[in-house]
Structure 1
Protein backbone atom coordinates (compact mmCIF):
# COMPACT_ATOMS: atom_id res chain seq x y z
CA UNK A 1 0.00 0.00 0.00
CA UNK A 2 1.42 3.38 -1.02
CA UNK A 3 1.70 5.91 1.78
CA UNK A 4 2.79 9.48 2.29
CA UNK A 5 5.08 10.87 4.96
CA UNK A 6 2.08 11.56 7.19
CA UNK A 7 0.61 8.04 6.97
CA UNK A 8 3.79 5.97 7.44
CA UNK A 9 4.29 4.29 10.80
CA UNK A 10 6.85 5.67 13.22
CA UNK A 11 8.97 2.55 12.70
CA UNK A 12 8.84 3.01 8.91
CA UNK A 13 9.80 6.68 9.06
CA UNK A 14 12.68 5.88 11.42
CA UNK A 15 14.03 3.17 9.10
CA UNK A 16 13.66 5.33 5.99
CA UNK A 17 15.19 8.39 7.67
CA UNK A 18 18.17 6.30 8.83
CA UNK A 19 18.72 5.10 5.26
CA UNK A 20 18.37 8.64 3.93
CA UNK A 21 20.80 9.98 6.54
CA UNK A 22 23.31 7.43 5.23
CA UNK A 23 22.69 8.81 1.73
CA UNK A 24 23.18 12.39 2.95
CA UNK A 25 26.42 11.47 4.71
CA UNK A 26 27.90 9.78 1.66
CA UNK A 27 26.69 12.57 -0.63
CA UNK A 28 28.30 15.19 1.61
CA UNK A 29 31.64 13.38 1.69
CA UNK A 30 31.52 12.87 -2.09
CA UNK A 31 30.70 16.56 -2.53
CA UNK A 32 33.83 17.61 -0.67
CA UNK A 33 35.89 14.96 -2.44
CA UNK A 34 34.79 16.34 -5.82
CA UNK A 35 35.45 19.92 -4.74
CA UNK A 36 38.92 18.99 -3.46
CA UNK A 37 39.69 17.29 -6.78
CA UNK A 38 38.28 20.27 -8.71
CA UNK A 39 40.68 22.56 -6.87
CA UNK A 40 43.73 20.34 -7.15
CA UNK A 41 43.60 18.37 -10.40
CA UNK A 42 46.58 18.87 -12.73
CA UNK A 43 47.88 17.42 -15.95
CA UNK A 44 46.89 17.19 -19.60
CA UNK A 45 43.22 16.54 -18.76
CA UNK A 46 43.00 19.49 -16.36
CA UNK A 47 40.22 21.32 -18.24
CA UNK A 48 37.72 18.50 -18.70
CA UNK A 49 38.39 17.04 -15.24
CA UNK A 50 38.18 20.44 -13.55
CA UNK A 51 34.78 20.92 -15.23
CA UNK A 52 33.54 17.39 -14.48
CA UNK A 53 34.47 17.59 -10.81
CA UNK A 54 32.64 20.93 -10.61
CA UNK A 55 29.51 19.41 -12.19
CA UNK A 56 29.68 16.60 -9.66
CA UNK A 57 30.04 18.78 -6.57
CA UNK A 58 27.36 21.23 -7.73
CA UNK A 59 24.96 18.32 -8.36
CA UNK A 60 25.78 16.74 -5.01
CA UNK A 61 25.32 19.97 -3.07
CA UNK A 62 21.72 20.21 -4.32
CA UNK A 63 21.21 16.48 -3.71
CA UNK A 64 22.22 16.78 -0.06
CA UNK A 65 19.47 19.33 0.41
CA UNK A 66 16.87 17.24 -1.46
CA UNK A 67 17.67 14.17 0.64
CA UNK A 68 17.73 16.09 3.94
CA UNK A 69 14.45 17.81 3.12
CA UNK A 70 12.84 14.42 2.48
CA UNK A 71 14.03 13.36 5.95
CA UNK A 72 12.40 16.46 7.39
CA UNK A 73 9.19 15.76 5.42
CA UNK A 74 9.16 12.44 7.30
CA UNK A 75 9.26 14.56 10.50
CA UNK A 76 12.70 13.26 11.47
CA UNK A 77 15.78 15.43 11.96
CA UNK A 78 18.56 15.23 9.39
CA UNK A 79 21.98 14.41 10.85
CA UNK A 80 24.02 17.36 9.67
CA UNK A 81 27.37 17.32 11.43
CA UNK A 82 30.48 16.84 9.31
CA UNK A 83 32.11 14.59 11.89
CA UNK A 84 29.02 12.39 11.98
CA UNK A 85 28.86 12.25 8.20
CA UNK A 86 32.50 11.22 7.91
CA UNK A 87 31.99 8.54 10.56
CA UNK A 88 28.87 7.10 8.86
CA UNK A 89 30.02 7.37 5.26
CA UNK A 90 31.35 4.39 3.30
CA UNK A 91 33.16 7.00 1.17
CA UNK A 92 36.42 8.33 2.58
CA UNK A 93 38.33 11.53 2.10
CA UNK A 94 41.46 11.36 -0.05
CA UNK A 95 44.80 11.65 1.70
CA UNK A 96 47.06 14.28 0.21
CA UNK A 97 46.69 15.21 -3.45
CA UNK A 98 46.27 12.12 -5.62
CA UNK A 99 47.22 11.99 -9.29
CA UNK A 100 44.50 12.88 -11.80
CA UNK A 101 44.03 9.19 -12.60
CA UNK A 102 43.69 8.31 -8.90
CA UNK A 103 41.18 11.18 -8.46
CA UNK A 104 39.10 9.71 -11.26
CA UNK A 105 39.26 6.22 -9.74
CA UNK A 106 38.34 7.46 -6.25
CA UNK A 107 35.47 9.57 -7.57
CA UNK A 108 34.20 6.68 -9.71
CA UNK A 109 34.20 4.44 -6.63
CA UNK A 110 32.36 7.14 -4.66
CA UNK A 111 29.70 7.36 -7.37
CA UNK A 112 29.27 3.59 -7.42
CA UNK A 113 28.95 3.54 -3.63
CA UNK A 114 26.35 6.30 -3.74
CA UNK A 115 24.34 4.48 -6.42
CA UNK A 116 24.40 1.30 -4.32
CA UNK A 117 23.42 3.09 -1.10
CA UNK A 118 20.58 4.92 -2.84
CA UNK A 119 19.34 1.72 -4.48
CA UNK A 120 19.19 0.10 -1.04
CA UNK A 121 17.39 3.08 0.47
CA UNK A 122 14.93 3.04 -2.42
CA UNK A 123 14.25 -0.68 -1.97
CA UNK A 124 13.66 -0.14 1.74
CA UNK A 125 11.30 2.75 1.09
CA UNK A 126 9.39 0.69 -1.49
CA UNK A 127 9.05 -2.23 0.92
CA UNK A 128 7.54 0.16 3.48
CA UNK A 129 5.13 1.75 0.99
CA UNK A 130 7.00 5.06 0.59
CA UNK A 131 7.05 5.48 -3.18
CA UNK A 132 7.94 9.17 -2.93
CA UNK A 133 11.24 8.39 -1.19
CA UNK A 134 11.75 5.45 -3.54
CA UNK A 135 11.39 7.80 -6.52
CA UNK A 136 13.91 10.27 -5.08
CA UNK A 137 16.40 7.45 -4.47
CA UNK A 138 15.94 6.05 -7.99
CA UNK A 139 16.53 9.46 -9.59
CA UNK A 140 19.61 10.11 -7.47
CA UNK A 141 20.98 6.62 -8.07
CA UNK A 142 20.65 7.08 -11.82
CA UNK A 143 22.59 10.35 -11.60
CA UNK A 144 25.42 8.66 -9.71
CA UNK A 145 25.54 5.78 -12.17
CA UNK A 146 25.84 8.32 -15.00
CA UNK A 147 28.72 10.10 -13.24
CA UNK A 148 30.40 6.71 -12.66
CA UNK A 149 30.10 5.97 -16.38
CA UNK A 150 31.68 9.34 -17.27
CA UNK A 151 34.55 8.64 -14.90
CA UNK A 152 35.04 5.03 -16.08
CA UNK A 153 35.28 6.40 -19.62
CA UNK A 154 38.29 8.49 -18.58
CA UNK A 155 40.01 5.36 -17.32
CA UNK A 156 39.40 3.24 -20.44
Structure 2
Protein backbone atom coordinates (compact mmCIF):
# COMPACT_ATOMS: atom_id res chain seq x y z
CA UNK A 1 0.00 0.00 0.00
CA UNK A 2 1.30 3.44 -0.92
CA UNK A 3 1.69 5.77 2.02
CA UNK A 4 2.49 9.41 2.46
CA UNK A 5 4.98 10.65 5.04
CA UNK A 6 2.21 11.19 7.59
CA UNK A 7 1.00 7.58 7.20
CA UNK A 8 4.33 5.98 8.13
CA UNK A 9 4.96 4.55 11.57
CA UNK A 10 7.44 6.46 13.72
CA UNK A 11 9.99 3.61 13.47
CA UNK A 12 9.65 3.46 9.68
CA UNK A 13 9.96 7.22 9.41
CA UNK A 14 13.10 7.22 11.56
CA UNK A 15 14.71 4.36 9.61
CA UNK A 16 14.00 5.98 6.25
CA UNK A 17 15.27 9.36 7.47
CA UNK A 18 18.47 7.71 8.73
CA UNK A 19 19.04 6.08 5.34
CA UNK A 20 18.47 9.42 3.62
CA UNK A 21 20.79 11.15 6.10
CA UNK A 22 23.50 8.68 5.11
CA UNK A 23 22.92 9.60 1.46
CA UNK A 24 23.00 13.33 2.26
CA UNK A 25 26.28 12.94 4.15
CA UNK A 26 27.91 11.03 1.31
CA UNK A 27 26.55 13.50 -1.24
CA UNK A 28 27.93 16.48 0.69
CA UNK A 29 31.39 14.92 0.98
CA UNK A 30 31.36 13.92 -2.69
CA UNK A 31 30.24 17.42 -3.71
CA UNK A 32 33.32 18.86 -2.02
CA UNK A 33 35.50 16.08 -3.42
CA UNK A 34 34.38 16.91 -6.97
CA UNK A 35 34.86 20.63 -6.40
CA UNK A 36 38.32 20.07 -4.90
CA UNK A 37 39.31 17.94 -7.89
CA UNK A 38 37.79 20.52 -10.27
CA UNK A 39 40.07 23.17 -8.76
CA UNK A 40 43.20 21.03 -8.68
CA UNK A 41 43.15 18.68 -11.68
CA UNK A 42 46.11 18.99 -14.06
CA UNK A 43 47.44 17.09 -17.04
CA UNK A 44 46.48 16.42 -20.64
CA UNK A 45 42.86 15.67 -19.68
CA UNK A 46 42.46 18.92 -17.73
CA UNK A 47 39.69 20.36 -19.93
CA UNK A 48 37.25 17.45 -19.98
CA UNK A 49 37.91 16.48 -16.35
CA UNK A 50 37.58 20.06 -15.14
CA UNK A 51 34.19 20.25 -16.87
CA UNK A 52 33.02 16.80 -15.70
CA UNK A 53 33.98 17.49 -12.09
CA UNK A 54 32.01 20.74 -12.26
CA UNK A 55 28.97 18.97 -13.70
CA UNK A 56 29.14 16.50 -10.82
CA UNK A 57 29.45 19.03 -8.00
CA UNK A 58 26.70 21.23 -9.44
CA UNK A 59 24.36 18.23 -9.69
CA UNK A 60 25.23 17.07 -6.18
CA UNK A 61 24.65 20.50 -4.65
CA UNK A 62 21.03 20.36 -5.84
CA UNK A 63 20.72 16.73 -4.70
CA UNK A 64 21.75 17.66 -1.15
CA UNK A 65 18.73 19.94 -1.00
CA UNK A 66 16.33 17.42 -2.54
CA UNK A 67 17.35 14.67 -0.13
CA UNK A 68 17.32 16.96 2.91
CA UNK A 69 13.92 18.34 2.02
CA UNK A 70 12.57 14.79 1.82
CA UNK A 71 13.90 14.18 5.33
CA UNK A 72 12.06 17.32 6.46
CA UNK A 73 8.89 16.11 4.71
CA UNK A 74 9.17 13.07 6.98
CA UNK A 75 9.20 15.58 9.87
CA UNK A 76 12.74 14.62 10.89
CA UNK A 77 15.59 17.08 11.43
CA UNK A 78 17.93 17.06 8.41
CA UNK A 79 21.67 16.77 9.10
CA UNK A 80 23.51 20.03 8.71
CA UNK A 81 26.81 19.79 10.54
CA UNK A 82 29.83 19.07 8.37
CA UNK A 83 31.73 17.22 11.12
CA UNK A 84 28.82 14.83 11.58
CA UNK A 85 28.54 14.29 7.84
CA UNK A 86 32.25 13.56 7.58
CA UNK A 87 31.98 11.04 10.42
CA UNK A 88 28.92 9.33 8.92
CA UNK A 89 30.04 9.27 5.28
CA UNK A 90 31.65 6.19 3.76
CA UNK A 91 33.19 8.62 1.22
CA UNK A 92 36.31 10.24 2.65
CA UNK A 93 37.86 13.63 2.03
CA UNK A 94 40.94 13.95 -0.16
CA UNK A 95 43.52 16.72 -0.30
CA UNK A 96 43.41 17.30 -4.07
CA UNK A 97 47.05 16.44 -4.68
CA UNK A 98 46.23 13.15 -6.43
CA UNK A 99 47.01 12.47 -10.08
CA UNK A 100 44.19 13.01 -12.55
CA UNK A 101 43.66 9.23 -12.80
CA UNK A 102 43.48 8.86 -9.03
CA UNK A 103 41.00 11.73 -8.87
CA UNK A 104 38.82 9.98 -11.42
CA UNK A 105 39.08 6.65 -9.58
CA UNK A 106 38.30 8.16 -6.17
CA UNK A 107 35.34 10.08 -7.52
CA UNK A 108 34.08 6.98 -9.36
CA UNK A 109 34.25 4.99 -6.11
CA UNK A 110 32.38 7.78 -4.31
CA UNK A 111 29.62 7.72 -6.93
CA UNK A 112 29.32 3.94 -6.59
CA UNK A 113 29.10 4.29 -2.81
CA UNK A 114 26.28 6.83 -3.00
CA UNK A 115 24.42 4.71 -5.57
CA UNK A 116 24.61 1.72 -3.18
CA UNK A 117 23.44 3.83 -0.24
CA UNK A 118 20.50 5.13 -2.26
CA UNK A 119 19.59 1.63 -3.45
CA UNK A 120 19.37 0.61 0.20
CA UNK A 121 17.31 3.67 1.09
CA UNK A 122 14.97 2.97 -1.81
CA UNK A 123 14.52 -0.65 -0.81
CA UNK A 124 13.79 0.39 2.78
CA UNK A 125 11.26 2.98 1.61
CA UNK A 126 9.60 0.38 -0.66
CA UNK A 127 9.40 -2.06 2.25
CA UNK A 128 7.37 0.54 4.17
CA UNK A 129 5.25 1.68 1.21
CA UNK A 130 6.94 5.10 0.97
CA UNK A 131 6.89 5.38 -2.81
CA UNK A 132 7.85 9.05 -2.81
CA UNK A 133 11.14 8.39 -1.03
CA UNK A 134 11.65 5.25 -3.10
CA UNK A 135 11.23 7.28 -6.30
CA UNK A 136 13.69 9.93 -5.14
CA UNK A 137 16.24 7.27 -4.18
CA UNK A 138 15.87 5.52 -7.53
CA UNK A 139 16.21 8.76 -9.48
CA UNK A 140 19.30 9.85 -7.54
CA UNK A 141 20.80 6.35 -7.67
CA UNK A 142 20.55 6.34 -11.46
CA UNK A 143 22.32 9.69 -11.61
CA UNK A 144 25.18 8.45 -9.44
CA UNK A 145 25.53 5.26 -11.47
CA UNK A 146 25.70 7.38 -14.63
CA UNK A 147 28.46 9.54 -13.16
CA UNK A 148 30.32 6.38 -12.04
CA UNK A 149 30.08 5.01 -15.60
CA UNK A 150 31.31 8.27 -17.10
CA UNK A 151 34.27 8.34 -14.72
CA UNK A 152 35.02 4.62 -15.22
CA UNK A 153 35.16 5.24 -18.97
CA UNK A 154 38.10 7.61 -18.44
CA UNK A 155 40.06 4.78 -16.81
CA UNK A 156 39.60 2.19 -19.56
RMSD: 0.6
Would the aligned equivalents of 2:37 and 2:96 in 1 still touch at CA under 8 Å?
Answer: no
Per the TM alignment, residue 92 of structure 1 is displaced from its structure 2 partner at its CA by: 0.2
Per the TM alignment, residue 6 of structure 1 is displaced from its structure 2 partner at its CA by: 1.1
Query: What stretches of structure 2 of length at least 5 have no aligned partner?
Result: none
Query: What stretches of structure 1 of length at least 5 have no aligned partner?
Result: none
Task: State the alpha-carbon separation in 1 of the partners of residues 136 and 70 from structure 2.
Answer: 9
Worse-superposed segment, 51-60 or 3-12: 3-12
User: Is 2:50 the partner of 1:17?
Assistant: no
User: Is 2:118 the partner of 1:118?
Assistant: yes
Q: Secondary structure of 1:6's match?
A: helix
User: Is 2:44 the partner of 1:44?
Assistant: yes
Per the TM alignment, residue 144 of structure 1 is displaced from its structure 2 partner at its CA by: 0.3
Per the TM alignment, residue 96 of structure 1 is displaced from its structure 2 partner at its CA by: 4.8
User: Deviation above 6 Å: which 4+ runs of structure 1?
Assistant: none
Per the TM alignment, residue 95 of structure 1 is displaced from its structure 2 partner at its CA by: 3.5
Task: State the alpha-carbon separation in 1 of the partners of residues 98 and 80 from structure 2.
Answer: 27
For this pair of structures, how many residues does the alignment match?
156
The two structures have a TM-score, normalised by structure 2, of 0.99
Per the TM alignment, residue 53 of structure 1 is displaced from its structure 2 partner at its CA by: 0.2
Instruction: Report what 1:133 is aligned to.
Output: 133
Q: Deviations over 1:56-112 (max 9, x none)?
A: 000000000000000000000001100000000000011351000000000000000
